[in-house]
Amino acid sequence: MSGKKPAEHACGESLTSAPMPQGRPIAFTLAAAAQHRLRARQRSGAATCSGARRQTHEHRLSPTQQRGLQAESRAIAWLCAHGLQLLGTNLRCRYGELDAVFRADAQTLVIVEIRHRRNAQHGGAAASITHAKQQRLRRTAAWFLPQLAASGFGGRTPHYRFDAVCIEGDTLNWLPAVF
């Protein structure tokens, strides 16, 4: 024995404590572990709050937010009419939000970013999906991938793609596999 202790993660957990499942991508395994740790923290935090819950107040939506929700509903209905099966909407985590997630077939997960602009000034809806936004969507998708694989694909990691639905005025454009 060399007497060395195993390497530790930044939060103090041993990196060698859990065996790697065979056949699963490392990103899938890391995301599942992160979700497990978060749920454990939430359970322990909920027990120490002495039952006090934060009160939520009704939030009124601005006209812009209302138009955005209408555009999102329109895009989701349009995609469902074109053969995609809706798995979830507005999935939020600390990394960001996924507007809509669909199942295209038995092996394909489709993550859709929905953008609405009144007109094409300043580049339009498609131009508003910046590189930073794409990175945020990728991190958020990696976070939700284990949950979506379990619920919609029988635990198998699906192929996935990022689509965009850009609505400018009354025109809806579906851009499959946009990034």
Which residue is associated with the tokens 């060399």?
2
Model-level pTM? 0.66
Mean pLDDT score across all residues of the chain: 81
Flag the least confident range among 25-39, 52-66, 89-103, 129-143.
52-66
Does 7 score more than 60 pLDDT?
no
Taking alpha carbons only, the member of 94, 114, 121 closest to residue 175 is: 114
Whether 146 and 32 have beta carbons less than 8 Å apart is answered as yes
**Within 13 Å and on the Cβ side, how many CA atoms surround 43?**
6
Which carries the bigger pLDDT value, residue 60 or residue 97? 97
Half-sphere exposure for 14 (CA within 13 Å, toward CB): 7
The per-residue pLDDT for range 86-107, each reduced to its tens digit, is 999 999 999 999 999 999 999 9
Q: Higher-confidence residue: 99 or 30?
A: 99
CB 114 within 8 A of CB 100: yes
Which pLDDT band holds residue 84 (cuts at 50, 70, 90)? very high
Q: What is the pLDDT of residues 129-162, one digit of tens each?
A: 999 999 999 999 999 999 999 988 998 999 999 9
Residue 32: pLDDT band with limits 50, 70, 90 = confident
Residue 56 CA, distance from chain mean position: 24
- More confident of the two residues 164 and 61: 164
Instruction: Give me the numbers of helices (H) and strands (E) for the chain, helices first please.
Output: 4, 5
Distances (CA, A) of 61 to 58, 68, 86, 92: 10, 10, 25, 18
User: Could you give the percent of the chain with pLDDT greater than 70?
Assistant: 77
The percentage of the chain sitting over the pLDDT mark of 90, rounded to a whole number, equals 52
pLDDT, average across residues 9-38: 59
Which band of pLDDT confidence, cut at 50, 70 and 90, is reported for residue 58? low
- Reported for 80-86, long-range contacts at CB under 8 A and 24+ positions apart, including other chains, are 82/174, 84/110
Looking at per-residue confidence, does 177 or 121 come out higher?
Answer: 177
- Please check the confidence at residue 126 and state whether its pLDDT lies above 80: yes
User: What is the C-alpha to C-alpha distance for residues 51 and 53, in angstroms, rounded to an integer?
Assistant: 6
Domains, the chain: 63-175 (3.40.1350.10)
Short-list 123, 117, 134, CA closest to 172: 117
